[in-house]
Amino acid sequence: MNLKGTLPLLILRALESGPKHGYLIAAEIKANSKGVLDFREGALYPALHDRENKGLIQSYEEVENGRTRRYYRLTQKGKKALAKEREEWRALSGAVTMFLEEA
Amino acid sequence: MFDGLRSLTWKHADTIEQWVRKATRGLCQEARERIADEIREHYTQALQAALTAGAGHQEAARRALETLGSPRKARAGFLKTNLSVRQAWLLNQMTTWGGWKRRLYLFFLYLAGLCMMGPGRLHMEHHEAHFVFIGVSCILFLGMLLLASGCLALQRRGYIRLGISIGWTGYIVGAAVPLMVGAALWGREASFGLAWLIVIALLSAGLEHIAFFGKLRSKQTEP
């Protein structure tokens, strides 16, 4: 299932537990949703760059086993945005669920 | 070639390289390099995961590439979040001309050009319209330089595209409107002024090679 527009929120959530590189972020989203939330991983990087441009996440390079990897971490602004977007999502999904069950 | 792909045949590596090339076409050098490194690293890890899961090399490479999806769609996303070659050039020019010394230099060149255009006969005719025209043009040009400063501040706060768009619109409007008005007012004689302005523009383009301006530029582009 590819829920358009949710990837930016999922990225922030994936980074809540600590810095990660792109592959790990994609793997965590897929694993934690038991494969329900699926997306083309090429789309992950533009979304990461967009969040970085907005100052919600920060990137840095780290050498691991002789290979350079770019890690991303949440900024303070990103933590606030995650809390706000999480609340909005809960309100939205709660309203949709309520409506579907009533109908 | 990057480490993770050393064990693969050239054909697989060529395929991911093709993906990267398609996805980063038209982006500026810095963005191209960063994205290429990230995608290659992502691909390498996806490949290793598929190999660990028991897939053969061919199958693992196919799966790893498939998870990336369409390079054209990825490119559309990258163009929204990274600077294109043209945008990077425009930004570089704005930064280059962002210092006050350079701006003053540009302003005096412009003023001189206007005086030549509106014609160098000011002393003979003393026509009020000439003074008004040159005064208004100078105000417009200075306003444009101030606007460009504001746009550089916007760019520093992360609104890069907005900064480039407004800044360059300001430059074009600020410079083009007086030239067009001048040409309409003084007709044929304006062509001498225009020719002179072209010479100025050509000379200005060569400023990069003059040590004094080169030093100014390197200072301004330091992070």
The one-digit pLDDT tens for each residue of chain B (223 residues) are: 444 444 444 445 568 999 999 999 999 999 999 999 999 999 999 999 999 988 888 899 998 998 898 999 999 999 988 888 888 887 777 676 666 666 666 667 667 666 666 555 544 455 666 676 677 777 777 777 777 677 777 777 767 777 777 777 776 666 666 666 666 666 655 566 666 666 566 555 544 444 444 444 343 333 3
Measured in angstroms, the CA of B151 and the nearest CA of chain A are apart by 16
Q: Taking Cα atoms as reference points, which of A31, A64, A71 lies closest to residue A48?
A: A71
Across the interface, whether the CB atoms of A45 and B80 are under 8 A apart is answered no
A16-48: pLDDT as tens digits = 999 999 999 999 998 888 777 777 888 899 999
Binary contact (B70, A42; C-beta < 8 A): yes
**What global pTM score does this model have?**
0.68
Q: β-strands A67-74, A20-21: how paired?
A: antiparallel
CB contact under 8 A, A47 and B77: yes
Distance of CA B42 to the CA centre of its chain: 29
Residue A102: the pLDDT is 79
pLDDT of residue B97: 63
Chain A / chain B CB contacts < 8 angstroms:
71
Q: Is B38 on the interface with A (CB under 8 A)?
A: yes
Q: According to DSSP H, which parts of chain B are helical?
A: 10-24, 29-52, 57-68, 71-81, 85-96, 100-117, 122-125, 128-156, 160-186, 190-205, 211-221
Query: Distance from B21 to chain A by nearest Cα, in Å?
Result: 13
Spatial CA neighbour of A32 closest among A8, A4, A10, A57: A10
Measured between beta carbons, which residues in chain B are less than 8 angstroms from residue A41?
42, 46, 67-69
Cross-chain Cβ contact A68/B37 below 8 Å = yes
Provide the CA B56 distance to its chain's centre, in angstroms: 45
CB contact under 8 A, B41 and A69: yes
- What does the alpha-carbon distance between residue A48 and residue B76 come to, in Å, rounded to a whole number? 14
As given in the structure block, the two tokens for residue B6 are 């050393």
Helical packing angle, B160-186 and B128-156, nearest 10°: 170
Q: Which residues of chain A neighbour B23 with C-beta distances below 8 Å?
A: 42
